[in-house]
Amino acid sequence: MVYGTFMENPTDPHVSLRGKLLKDGSGLPRVGPLPAVRRSVPARELSEDLRSDLARTGVALRRFDRPLTNDQYRELGEALGNPMPETDPAVQPFVEDQVVLNLISSHEETADASLQPFAANYLSLHTESSGRPVPEQPRYLALMCCEPGDDPQAALTVLTPMERIAQRLAEQDIALLRTTRYRHGDPALRLVRAEDDRLVLSFRDFMSQPLEWINEDDVAVPAVNDAIGALLTSMYDPSSAMAVQWEPGLLVVFDNRVFFHGRTARLRPANHRRHLKRLRIVANTAD
């Protein structure tokens, strides 16, 4: 068993790629098309349509004439799986009905990681709850726009498919990542695992913070750090990234086993706050 720590260097290739990708997202293709649907459609019927899209592409979008109410939103989440309670003390002022998180741009740029989802910062690419046991990781994330803010071109949600990321990695890097885990995460979880005959990643870009890891084999520390660096470089390759441009009533649901996600920065002070609602949905055991 080998212990190591990955620390990024300002000259690492992924650092400049990350800055370019997440600065404003102006060159990214938009996720679409955006099918319109009535708010009165029953949650069970709507969830079946969403599941069809999720099974095919890993992402589903629907445009309502106005945002769903919390009751409608929770009902949809329950039709897709089991909404996860929001238990982090830092986000409790933004939580409604235990499971609905209001992502409101109420802070300017901050170094406090717990406040960054509510600030002007870009958010690095990651999978949700990447250190938790697999059954406790959300299968789906649902985001619904209440207010896009002053500039609909800013604070875009970025989605990058895992499959494309993995295709750019060398076999030896994948092999190392399949035996590497967070030092303080679930002992049974690896950064890369096989699931349904494909590779699934559980990983977050910690940016300037140290990433402490354990590898189960007798490997060289630099080799593992190089593999992590290669993963980060592949994550920020712009060729496979796409962005969601928000508008009121837009619902986006994506599979946490299929996409990394992040957010571009808000470059100017806002007079009107961006406001999304988020549900994290754990899959039913039958899914």
At 84 the pLDDT is: 97
Q: Look at residue 81 and tell me if it is in a domain.
A: yes
Q: Look at residue 45 and tell me if it is in a domain.
A: no
At 286 the pLDDT is: 61
At 226 the pLDDT is: 98
Q: Look at residue 42 and tell me if it is in a domain.
A: no
pLDDT for residue 192 is more than 80: yes
Q: Look at residue 121 and tell me if it is in a domain.
A: yes
Number of domains in the chain: 1
Q: What's the whole-number mean pLDDT along residues 54-68?
A: 94
pLDDT for residue 203 is more than 70: yes
Q: Look at residue 158 and tell me if it is in a domain.
A: yes
Q: Look at residue 78 and tell me if it is in a domain.
A: yes
pLDDT band at 34 (very low <50, low <70, confident <90, very high): confident
pTM: 0.94
Q: Look at residue 54 and tell me if it is in a domain.
A: no
Dump pLDDT digits (tens) for 254-266: 999 999 999 998 7
**What's the CA gap between 158 and 243, in Å, rounded?**
4
Give which of 33, 247, 40 is closest to 153, Cα–Cα.
247
pLDDT for residue 285 is more than 80: no
pLDDT for residue 234 is more than 70: yes
* C-beta of residue 255 within 8 angstroms of C-beta of residue 54: yes
At 39 the pLDDT is: 81
* C-beta of residue 244 within 8 angstroms of C-beta of residue 159: yes
Q: What's the whole-number mean pLDDT along residues 231-246?
A: 96
pLDDT band at 187 (very low <50, low <70, confident <90, very high): very high
pLDDT for residue 15 is more than 90: yes
Q: Look at residue 13 and tell me if it is in a domain.
A: yes
Q: What's the whole-number mean pLDDT along residues 234-254?
A: 96
Q: CATH no. for residue 200?
A: 3.60.130.10
**What's the CA gap between 93 and 33, in Å, rounded?**
34
> Residue 221 is part of which domain span?
2-25+61-282
At 54 the pLDDT is: 96
Instruction: State percent of the chain over pLDDT 70.
Output: 94
